[in-house]
């Protein structure tokens, strides 16, 4: 790469892409947007064997501190089909992989779909929030993630949950008495998991240190 650049054959800058499942999918998605293909030694290809006429061009590339956006109207229809295929793949991911493995695969598909969407929104937190700007951003991000989980997995009506172990029933009663009547399925599962781990830890220790919040 450095030699070809010094000779003026290639006007590119090398970057490092993580060679894992996420990085590989990102490279193929970028190639699809650019109407190109990934040059890989696994396919017996090298960059120096590519002809100049093989290099594709796009309409515009925006690079900022927040990321990079590739504009290419020629591949808009193909990218729309690619998103639909990813949505189908995500809906077909079975729980036979285990909850964590299935969630990991769904997250990969979700991130790929998000990166291929040609429309988006930017949310800015104004300076008038002052010292609360950080917690405001965290709450906005948490709200968006909760909405995503609710759309993906649905909501559980806590008032209709029956035939559960007593410790779960007590947790649900405390939440409903506090006005919380609905919760996303992943949120409830995570809460139960953390509560169980905390209870298990408490049974193994012999002393408690109680500190005031201040």
Contacts of residue 150, defined as CB under 8 A and 6 or more positions apart, other chains included, come to 184
On average, the pLDDT of the chain sits at: 80
| pLDDT range class, residue 59, cuts 50, 70, 90 | very high
pLDDT of residue 214 exceeding 60: no
- Contact between 38 and 17 under an 8 Å Cβ cutoff? The reply is no
User: Domain limits at 175?
Assistant: 155-204
Q: Which two tokens stand for residue 36?
A: 């190109």
pLDDT of residue 83 exceeding 80: yes
pTM for the model: 0.53
- Count structural domains, the chain: 1
Sole residue written with tokens 């040059």: 39
pLDDT of residue 26 exceeding 80: yes
Q: Is residue 21 part of a domain?
A: no
What integer is the mean pLDDT of 47-70?
82
Q: Is residue 27 part of a domain?
A: no
Q: Is residue 59 part of a domain?
A: no
pLDDT of residue 95 exceeding 80: no
Q: Is residue 126 part of a domain?
A: no
Q: Which pLDDT tens digit goes with each residue over 146-168?
A: 787 777 777 888 888 888 888 77
């Amino acid at each position: 790469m450095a030699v070809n650049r010094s000779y003026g054959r290639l006007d590119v800058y090398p970057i490092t892409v993580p060679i894992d499942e996420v990085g590989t999918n990102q490279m193929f998605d970028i190639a699809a947007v650019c109407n190109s293909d990934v040059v890989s030694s696994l396919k017996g290809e090298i960059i120096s064997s590519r002809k100049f006429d093989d290099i594709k061009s796009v309409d515009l590339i925006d690079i900022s501190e927040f990321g990079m956006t590739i504009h290419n109207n020629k591949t808009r229809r193909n990218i729309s089909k690619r998103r639909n295929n990813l949505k189908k793949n995500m809906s077909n991911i079975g729980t036979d992989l285990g909850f964590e493995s299935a969630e990991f695969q769904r997250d990969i598909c979700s991130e790929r779909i998000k990166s291929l969407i040609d429309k988006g929104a930017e949310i800015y937190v104004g300076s008038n929030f002052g010292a609360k700007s950080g917690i405001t951003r965290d709450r906005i991000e948490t709200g968006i993630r909760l909405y995503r989980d609710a759309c993906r997995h649905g909501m559980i009506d806590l008032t209709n949950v029956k035939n559960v172990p007593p410790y779960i029933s007590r947790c649900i009663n405390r939440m409903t008495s506090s006005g919380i009547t609905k919760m996303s399925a992943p949120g409830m599962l995570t809460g139960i998991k953390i509560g169980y781990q905390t209870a298990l830890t408490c049974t193994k220790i012999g002393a408690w240190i109680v500190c005031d919040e201040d």
